[in-house]
């Protein structure tokens, strides 16, 4: 049976869905790479809220999705950009998410790292930015999770130059109870982070970033880089102090960055590994055997889907991630906190469905097809 899907020009074309999903194994953690999936949150579709209301979260479905990721050996990067931090999920909601997910991780033996930011602020002094970071760091540490020091909109707005970043991050790293992951999120993911590390010149910003790390190598587990520039990431990871990991956040070039070269490789902390979870886990297990070609054969075909979901405006990639989770049967609806389900068009959804179906990502292809037809009918596309 075929289905008619709208293309980018508004024309309907015929697509024949696959009938069988890709078969993958479940398994424990990996031996050659440390891999986190940045996980999305599931909204409560029955809550009487508006886009300006605090997020209403379906906790059962949200935690069930994390158990799904852990069951495949993936770590969970919690309360990150993928969970709509600053785009529907406020600090109060994020704090609750961190506590609940960390407790769930402890119960099932899953690995978890959680975002530490300053999103309880809209502005403020450097002292207030530090205090906001400290408040969130305490919540993550008390929950028993590894901290990820996220880029701060408030710091970007307040800092006068590189020295303010050096002072702020140095202060936080000196008091962290365990090694943290430093997160550099580019402005394509959040325009408010333009000029982070004190300069719009990425070479100068990189030097400041590395200065922070080299001053505190024992308290930096690794860095997470989301600049969508593969060569810049490679150059940066080659300059890291011994023992400091590079976690790729590049949703355009992750197969080659994780595979690496003769001088090193990247680990992973990726939003695209939310919809790709089982397939990504299977690929990394192949890489664990030393089979780089087999790893690339599994993961390279996924890049087209990732580039589609993360196309500009990149910050709305979360809409596609949640949409695919609905089609895959991980949740009963595609509603998002903040009403963000409206951030992408029907042709965008149609192409995401086609690409994901072609990869065999849907455990029940028939369910995915039925849900896609439901969406098409809602938009007025009749059989």
- How far is residue 194 CA from its own chain's centroid? 19
Percentage of the chain modeled with pLDDT above 90: 94
pLDDT on residue 122: 83
Cα-based distances in Å from 372 to 2, 84, 139, 272, 381: 12, 24, 40, 20, 11
Whether the pLDDT of residue 382 is over 80: the answer is no
pLDDT digits 0-9 by tens, 148-165? 999 999 999 999 999 999
CA–CA gap between residue 158 and residue 27 (Å, rounded) = 45
50 — pLDDT class (breaks 50, 70, 90)? confident
- Paired with 57 in beta bridges are 43
Residue 180: what are its φ and ψ, rounded to 5°?
-110, 170
Average pLDDT over residues 38-44: 98
Whether the pLDDT of residue 350 is over 80: the answer is yes
> In the chain, where does DSSP find H-type helix?
59-71, 91-108, 126-143, 153-158, 162-175, 202-215, 230-237, 254-259, 277-288, 292-299, 303-309, 317-327, 346-359, 365-378
Whether the pLDDT of residue 363 is over 80: the answer is yes
pLDDT on residue 266: 98
Q: Is the peptide bond before 84 cis (omega within 30 degrees of 0)?
A: no
Provide the pairing of β-strand 267-270 with 35-38.
parallel
pLDDT digits 0-9 by tens, 203-212? 999 999 999 9
- DSSP class of residue 315 equals G
Average pLDDT over residues 107-111: 97
Quick count: other Cβ atoms within 10 Å of Cβ 20?
7
For the chain, give the mean pLDDT. Answer: 96
CA–CA gap between residue 15 and residue 3 (Å, rounded) = 5
Reference 115, options 161, 159, 81, 148; nearest CA is 148
pLDDT digits 0-9 by tens, 245-298? 999 999 999 999 999 999 999 999 999 999 999 999 999 999 999 999 999 999
SS3 181: strand
Take residue 273 and report the two structure tokens written for it.
Answer: 């590994």
By residue count, the chain amounts to 383
């Amino acid at each position: 049976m075929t289905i008619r899907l709208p293309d980018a020009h508004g024309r309907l074309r015929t697509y024949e869905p696959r009938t069988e999903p890709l078969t993958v194994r479940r398994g424990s953690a990996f031996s050659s790479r440390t891999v986190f999936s940045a996980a999305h949150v599931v909204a409560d579709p029955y809550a009487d809220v508006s886009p300006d209301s605090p997020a209403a979260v379906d906790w059962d479905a949200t935690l069930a999705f994390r158990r799904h990721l852990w069951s495949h050996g993936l770590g969970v990067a919690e309360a990150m950009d993928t969970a709509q931090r600053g785009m529907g999920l406020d600090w109060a909601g994020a704090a609750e998410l961190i506590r609940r997910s960390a407790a769930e991780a402890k119960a099932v033996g899953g690995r978890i790292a959680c975002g530490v930011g300053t999103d309880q602020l809209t502005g403020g002094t450097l002292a207030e930015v530090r205090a906001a970071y400290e408040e969130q760091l305490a919540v993550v540490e008390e929950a028993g999770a590894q901290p990820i020091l996220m880029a701060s909109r408030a710091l970007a707005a307040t800092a006068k130059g590189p020295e303010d970043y050096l002072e702020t991050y140095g202060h936080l790293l000196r008091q962290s109870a365990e090694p943290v992951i430093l997160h550099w999120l580019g402005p394509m993911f959040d325009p408010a982070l333009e000029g982070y590390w004190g300069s719009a010149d990425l070479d100068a910003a990189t030097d400041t970033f590395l200065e922070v790390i080299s001053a505190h190598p024992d308290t930096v587990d690794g860095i997470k880089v989301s600049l969508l520039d593969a060569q810049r990431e490679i150059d940066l990871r080659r300059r890291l102090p011994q023992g400091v990991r590079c976690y790729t956040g590049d949703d355009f070039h992750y197969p080659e960055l994780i595979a690496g070269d003769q001088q090193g490789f990247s680990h992973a902390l990726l939003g695209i590994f939310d919809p790709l979870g089982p397939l990504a886990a299977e690929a990394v297990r192949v890489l664990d055997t030393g089979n780089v070609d087999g790893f690339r054969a599994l993961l390279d075909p996924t890049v087209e889907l990732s580039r589609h979901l993360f196309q500009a405006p990149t910050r709305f990639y979360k809409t596609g991630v949640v949409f695919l989770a609905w089609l895959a049967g991980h949740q009963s609806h595609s509603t998002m906190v903040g009403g963000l389900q409206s951030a992408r068009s029907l042709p965008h959804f149609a192409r995401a469905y086609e690409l994901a179906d072609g990869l065999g990502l849907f455990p029940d292809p028939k369910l995915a097809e039925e849900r896609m037809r439901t969406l098409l009918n809602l938009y007025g596309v009749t059989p």
